[in-house]
Chains A and B, each alone.
Chain A
Amino acid sequence: MAANALEFRTCPITGKKVYATAQNLIWANAVTAVVFILVGGLAALLVLLTRWPAVHLLSPDLFYRILTLHPIAALVAWIIFFEVAGLYFGCTVLLNSRIAAPKVAWLAYFLMLVGAALVAVEILIGNADVMFTSYIPLQASPLYYLGVILFAVGALVACGIFFGTLAIAKAEKTYEGSLPLVTFGLSAAAIIAVWTLASGAIIYIPTFLWSLGVIKNIDAAMYRLIFWGFGHASQQINVTAMVSVWYLLGVLTVGLKPVNEKVCRSAFVLYIFFINLASEHHLLTDPTLSPAHKIANTSYFIYMAALASMIHALAIPMAVEVAQRKKGYTKGIFEWLTKAPWGEPGFPALVFSLFIFGFIGGITGIVNGTEQLSIKSHNTWAMTGHFHGTVVGGTTLAFMGLTYYLIPLVFRREIIGKKWATAQPYIYGIGLIIFTLSMIAAGTLGVPRRHWDITFADSIIPFSFDPTAILLVTLTALGGLTAIVGGAIYVGVAVLSVFFGRKLAPNEAKLI
């Protein structure tokens, strides 16, 4: 922590300057992220084994408690800590720059850490059985909301550090010309993050005061509207950061060079302008908004953001192909693909992430986001399946793939268990494909989300699902267990390598 602000080394692989202060901050944020995915993964295991009727592990109160913890640990803490690490990497290492105000960056880190820990503890001791959405009038303890606020403020400060560092790099001319594409994409993510965290404050501060009794009444529908202004927009940080990581993985595995910088950058700009506006698709079946409002918000604007994803979906495979052909893999139509580095973790992570995000998460997102089809899927497992396609199959898997390269590149340790690391994206990816598709199918048969007992054994009015639905839930459990094995391998390899991996010599240009 006490590194000299101007101490740096030169990376033997990329030739970039890596400042010790920045490196320590990236390390702390990334390691914390991995700790939280471990917590989130354990929670996923418990929740999954409870939803599987054949096992039905937890009691109802514990189930709803752990179901509140799972997204807080995975969706909020893991992803955002990792994103902060990624932002710092993008603005320091990629730009040869020192980091702005390292002390403030550490403050941001501790705010986030204290906030996340507070939220997790409040949930575990039973003070916040409200699901991560904490819909009013469900009420958690004031400390729960305070934890969320601290975390959000910390993340906001981290975005400030990112922009400050961009300004320093520009002023000190540590790079020439425009920002590298990856840093440009991360900047788009940071801009979206600022807006998101601001609306987070708008909704969590009054809710905090309400839990203290200072404010008497908050309208439940108004809460939902603003919560999703924050909650949905924060998913767009994840999309934008994930796409930036896709480009980065392309560089690290095949030496990707964007075919047309203008096209890629314009697509990122589309994200900034349009993606936040789609947040009302969470409210399509609510009795709050007029149809005109819903249609304008969720059709016109979201499709401009979908367009951006479509552009990246071409630009990335295209650039991979160009890079591979330059290396001489020019036979037939597909030699560039068959000769791709499938035997190192980054490439399958990129491919599975692209595939699951686009074909499972993306398509179901567009479908669920239409006014009438939302009636079919709202609050069913089809939704849960959809966002495990985006935020787990897409974002989480991309971040996992990147980890195997950050460890040698930035932390200068050799990966322990390279074979395990290579198998990991396959296991996680295939598990998730089975998990999400079965979950979506179960949802279309009516299986609800957030539900302890789909056999309705304790109901006054009996009801039971079609046996097909139960079969699909079982398949979901099997796919989920496979993915959890993949997740465990990730945590194992990452932790062992970071702490016990052989230290690389200063001039050792070994990546993986």
Chain B
Amino acid sequence: MAITSPETYWWKPADKEEKLWITIAIVWCLILFTMMPLWHIVGGQNPSVEPLKIRPKDYEKISDAFIEKYKIGEESGIPVVKPPDGADVYLRGQMWNWMPILELKKGVNYKFHISSIDLMHGFSLQPLVMNFQIVPGHDNILNITPTSSGTFHIICNEFCGINHHTMVGKIVVKD
């Protein structure tokens, strides 16, 4: 029994059934193992591939400049920004909103720099459900090409203080 010591020589070959199962399991593991790097290359979507550190103060300056340069209006007190095609886009998580509201063009590639100037935030794009961890001091760089037009929302799914659940941002994609 499993609660008593086994007989003296227990290093015995496995049964046929066990060997078969273990072989199947190993093959399955190998398939999964090759899928991961393979999908990184052939798949269209990957998390950030360029880790970069940036001090929250510096990031705030750059993102303020970005907002000022391309601002086209304001909505509920939050600036609306329309960056030119192919521009570097700065999206800032802060307690408790995503700054600014972005207006993008369908089919155009943007280089997103998402970071935080205070706590961690969770970038969660709805309704596509794509999620990234946003860490102060680190720039989450993502190359994004919107493939459909419409209004998208960003909710926060990392706890960031008492009003965490009110943190909603917006991206509008136009044709």
Contact = CB atoms under 8 A, between A and B. Distances in A.
Contacts of A131: 159
Given A378-B133, A380-B129, A248 B3 contact: yes
Contacts of A465: 126
B21 A287 contact: no
Interface residues of A, number: 88
Given A287-B135, A287-B140, A299-B32, A251 B45 contact: no
B138 A220 contact: yes
Interface string B126-152: 110111111111111100000000000
Interface in A300-332: 300, 303-304, 306-307, 310-311, 314-315, 318-319
Given A178-B6, A299-B36, A380-B129, A461 B168 contact: yes
Contacts of B7: 177
A375 B2 contact: no
A445 B129 CA distance: 7
B37 A376 contact: no
Interface in B1-32: 1-8, 10-15, 17-18, 21-22, 25-26, 28-30, 32
Contacts of B22: 263, 307, 310-311, 314
Given A61-B162, A446-B127, A371 B5 contact: no
A503 interface: no
A286 B10 contact: no
Contact of A290 (B10, B29, B51, B77): B51
A291 interface: yes
Q: Max chain A CB contacts within 10 Å: which of B11, B12, B119, B155?
A: B155
B145 to A, nearest CB: 15
Contact of B135 (A224, A260, A303, A378): A224
Nearest to A90: B3
Interface stretch (A352-360, A449-457, A487-495): A449-457
A375 B18 contact: no
Contact of B11 (A262, A314, A318, A458): A262
Contact of A375 (B13, B101, B131, B169): B131
A434 interface: no
B57 interface: no
Given A446-B127, A459-B166, A371 B47 contact: yes
Interface in A238-277: 247-248, 250-251, 255-263
B18 A177 contact: no
A371 B46 contact: yes
Interface in B87-134: 97, 101, 115, 118-120, 122, 124, 126-127, 129-134
B153 A291 contact: no
Given A287-B141, A300-B33, A461 B76 contact: yes
Contacts of B25: 307, 310-311
B39 A247 contact: no
A452 B153 CA distance: 18
A460 B135 contact: no
Contacts of A179: 5
A256 B2 contact: yes
Given A61-B162, A255-B1, A375 B10 contact: no
Nearest to B76: A460
B127 A466 contact: yes
B164 interface: yes
Contacts of B169: 461
Nearest to B31: A303
Contacts of A287: 48, 51-52, 115, 132-135, 138-141
B40 interface: yes
Among B28, B120, B168, residue most surrounded by chain A Cβ atoms (within 10 Å): B120
A255 B2 CA distance: 9
B166 A288 contact: no
A448 B124 contact: yes
B131 A380 contact: yes
B69 to A, nearest CB: 22
Nearest to B136: A220
Contacts of A300: 33
A311 B24 CA distance: 10
A100 interface: no
Given A180-B5, A287-B141, A446-B124, A366 B32 contact: yes
B158 interface: yes
A220 B119 CA distance: 9
B131 A257 contact: no
Contacts of B40: 291, 295, 371-372
Residue from B29, B162, B168 whose CB has the most chain A CB atoms within 10 Å: B29
Contacts of B12: 260-262
Given A221-B137, A260-B14, A460 B3 contact: no
Contacts of B15: 259-260
A459 B167 contact: yes
A172 interface: no
Contacts of A141: none
A163 to B, nearest CB: 18
Nearest to A454: B165
Contacts of A151: none
Contacts of A298: 36
Contacts of B139: 287
A341 interface: no
Interface string A469-500: 00000000000000000000000000000000
Contacts of B21: 310-311, 314
A303 B2 CA distance: 26
Given A452-B165, A461-B101, A463-B126, 12 more contacts: A138-B120, A247-B2, A283-B133, A290-B51, A300-B33, A307-B22, A446-B124, A446-B127, A448-B156, A453-B165, A459-B166, A461-B169
7 contacts: A178-B10, A255-B1, A306-B29, A314-B17, A375-B47, A375-B130, A460-B77
